[in-house]
Chains A and B, each alone.
Chain A
């Protein structure tokens, strides 16, 4: 079912909740099973060591966006959820932002476990009572009920984007957030829906001169005045909102010089950055282009400090991948909680992890066969030519319709969520 294709995955700030958005405009939130004190709730793996049973179960499901029709342009607006971002929790309720191509919505997810009973003017089913039949008055009381999780839209931020929204990012001040489309970035205050500030605008006066678009944007995790945005030409710009109202001039400009030996007609396309993420520390940014993941030090603009090959064996297949449009696939990338490991997806339901310290990497597969509960994932290997060993898969056998574009990493533990088309896989690392 096409509508079930997962289009975004995101843990909240504690990792207790995991949200997914899909092509049909639905949001599904999973909650980690709470630890419960008492016997039987702990599973002992080694003597003197206990682990919590951290399984994720469905917590809430709601329809975030509906398909719309733009009558002026005679165009449909897809309900597909492009991104979900959580707000840090400030009270009992949870808040998240979800966006499709045009409209951002703030959702409140709250629990209800009590219900008022004993109304005077309504009966138990909610039907109005005839006042003439009321002879006594009583005070309604709150009685416990089965836990109900309800999601309500609290704000709708609409009509601010002519082009398709590709990113949203919550600011560290928790009062503002930004939304970025192909040509513009807007700054919003959570309380104000009818107005936003335009902070980046790269639309040329003459659209025929357009050669570059914005592909992703994110706020710095600690400095609420700083953000970055990436482009289709493989560049990253860091901007400071204190410098000017319209951040068209960047504070820093990150670009790696082109390798002339690798130049081809596809060089620009594969250099287009599909995702940019700050490290948790705020010292580094990570970018994903078609074939690599790069780590940049904010203090060094002329080249990345680390480059990891995701699937370099595709370099000789670029023309075919251009023909079938796979070369335009937008892969995301994520940091682990300590910024020591980075992860990104590939084809054939493979995803890759790179350990920045040991320089070791691994390829894993998200598939039903390999995912019996408690099964350990076996590393996979793609054979590039010559003799194919027994467990290897050859490049030509890869399934390019099975792409892992969206992954997420728990903020503090080694738990990852991997979206493979319309299936969500949650993997946990069995380390002490």
Chain B
């Protein structure tokens, strides 16, 4: 799914980074999958915000799921403050994204969402579902997990995969699209295993019936493009939906 079996190199400083990474490998899989679930949930909340009359029960359940994940990440210490220049807004001990989304989705009685929290900017990243906008604004709660990889590297590979995506979209070549998104399915299979508490199978069976409904193609490849960072995965979800 994600990069496995990183080779240790002889060069000094890299070894430390690799060592740290290797040590975290066992937990990072769960963290990354948990992150995927969080991203998926946030997208769902935004989508139902855009619908005509959002189903309140569904919104509440998704928001509660987001809250649970954020609480767990706070306890883990993986939920970190974002650099001020990147966010430049609300205090960080609040679960910001959930609140903004809740207000936007639920305050149907008021004509407009509350202006107070700089909503335009906060909602900007995802509400338009425009890949360019969402790519450029760092999603501040999520960036914590990726921070240790080095922001520069991420951005490089991030832009690279964005280009790939846009290229694919322009050429409208379905097979390219499938190839690009073919990895998206496998994370979710693993998510099924890990996040629903089933420890048994190392490799879950293919869920074609379900995947057929959910994603473009059921056709998981077991390896992942190693140069696709986790942020790219986030963008893939946004673009896919």
Stretch from B125-133, B150-158, B210-218, B219-227 forming part of the interface with A = B210-218
Which residues on A sit within 8 Å (CB–CB) of B188? 319-320, 323
A264 on interface, CB distance cutoff 8 Å: yes
A164 on interface, CB distance cutoff 8 Å: yes
Q: Assuming A321-B210, A396-B207, A400-B213, is B192 touching A316 (CB within 8 A)?
A: yes
CB distance from A144 to the nearest CB of B (A): 49
CB distance from A94 to the nearest CB of B (A): 32
Stretch from B9-17, B48-56, B75-83, B138-146 forming part of the interface with A = B48-56
A232 and B196 within 8 A (CB):
no
Among A320, A321, A397, find the residue whose CB has the most chain B CB atoms closer than 10 A: A320
Which residues on A sit within 8 Å (CB–CB) of B99? 208
B57 and A232 within 8 A (CB):
yes
Which residues on B sit within 8 Å (CB–CB) of A269? 61, 65
Stretch from A58-66, A210-218, A351-359 forming part of the interface with B = A210-218
Stretch from B21-29, B103-111, B171-179 forming part of the interface with A = B103-111
Binary contact readout A36-79 vs B (1 if CB under 8 angstroms, 0 otherwise)? 00000000000000000000000000000000000011011110
B56 and A213 within 8 A (CB):
yes
A213 to B63, CA, bound (A): 12
Binary contact readout B40-73 vs A (1 if CB under 8 angstroms, 0 otherwise)? 1000100000001101111011011100110000
A392 on interface, CB distance cutoff 8 Å: no
Which residues on B sit within 8 Å (CB–CB) of A261? 197
What is the predominant secondary structure among interface residues of chain B facing chain A?
Answer: helix
Which residues on B sit within 8 Å (CB–CB) of A398? 209
Q: Number of B interface residues at 8 Å Cβ cutoff, please give it.
A: 44
Which residues on B sit within 8 Å (CB–CB) of A232? 57, 60-61
A162 to B109, CA, bound (A): 8
B196 and A396 within 8 A (CB):
no
Which residues of chain A from 159 to 216 have a CB within 8 Å of any chain B CB?
162-164, 182-183, 207-208, 210-213, 215
A208 to B213, CA, bound (A): 32
A268 on interface, CB distance cutoff 8 Å: yes
A317 to B37, CA, bound (A): 14
Which residues on B sit within 8 Å (CB–CB) of A272? 57, 61
Which residues on B sit within 8 Å (CB–CB) of A319? 37, 188, 191-192, 195-196
B64 and A211 within 8 A (CB):
yes
A265 and B37 within 8 A (CB):
yes
B55 and A328 within 8 A (CB):
yes
A262 and B56 within 8 A (CB):
no
CB distance from A162 to the nearest CB of B (A): 7
A164 and B195 within 8 A (CB):
no
Q: Assuming A164-B56, A323-B214, A328-B61, is B108 touching A208 (CB within 8 A)?
A: no
A75 to B51, CA, bound (A): 9
B193 on interface, CB distance cutoff 8 Å: yes
Binary contact readout A301-324 vs B (1 if CB under 8 angstroms, 0 otherwise)? 000000000000001111111111
CB distance from B61 to the nearest CB of A (A): 5
Which residues on A sit within 8 Å (CB–CB) of B56? 163-164, 182-183, 213
Binary contact readout A4-30 vs B (1 if CB under 8 angstroms, 0 otherwise)? 000000000000000000000000000
Residue of B nearest to A73 (CB): B108
B206 on interface, CB distance cutoff 8 Å: yes
Which residues on B sit within 8 Å (CB–CB) of A215? 57
B102 on interface, CB distance cutoff 8 Å: yes
A36 to B64, CA, bound (A): 58
A210 and B40 within 8 A (CB):
no
Which residues on B sit within 8 Å (CB–CB) of A322? 37, 40
A396 and B61 within 8 A (CB):
no
Which residues on B sit within 8 Å (CB–CB) of A262? 197
Which residues on B sit within 8 Å (CB–CB) of A78? 53
B163 on interface, CB distance cutoff 8 Å: no
Q: Assuming A207-B102, A211-B60, A319-B195, is B65 touching A324 (CB within 8 A)?
A: no
A176 to B40, CA, bound (A): 44
Q: Assuming A320-B207, A328-B58, A328-B61, is B53 touching A264 (CB within 8 A)?
A: no
CB distance from B58 to the nearest CB of A (A): 5
B208 on interface, CB distance cutoff 8 Å: yes
Which residues on B sit within 8 Å (CB–CB) of A399? 209
**Which of B55, B107, B197 interacts with A164 by CB under 8 Å?**
B55
Which residues on A sit within 8 Å (CB–CB) of B102? 207-208, 210
B61 and A268 within 8 A (CB):
yes
B202 on interface, CB distance cutoff 8 Å: no
Which residues on A sit within 8 Å (CB–CB) of B103? 207-208
Among B37, B58, B103, find the residue whose CB has the most chain A CB atoms closer than 10 A: B58
Which residues on A sit within 8 Å (CB–CB) of B44? 325
B198 on interface, CB distance cutoff 8 Å: yes
Which residues on B sit within 8 Å (CB–CB) of A328? 55, 57-58, 61
A210 and B106 within 8 A (CB):
yes
A244 on interface, CB distance cutoff 8 Å: no
A189 to B197, CA, bound (A): 49
A211 to B62, CA, bound (A): 10
B57 and A207 within 8 A (CB):
no
Residue of B nearest to A214 (CB): B57
7 A-B pairs (CB sep. < 8 Å): A210-B60, A265-B34, A265-B68, A269-B65, A316-B198, A323-B188, A401-B213
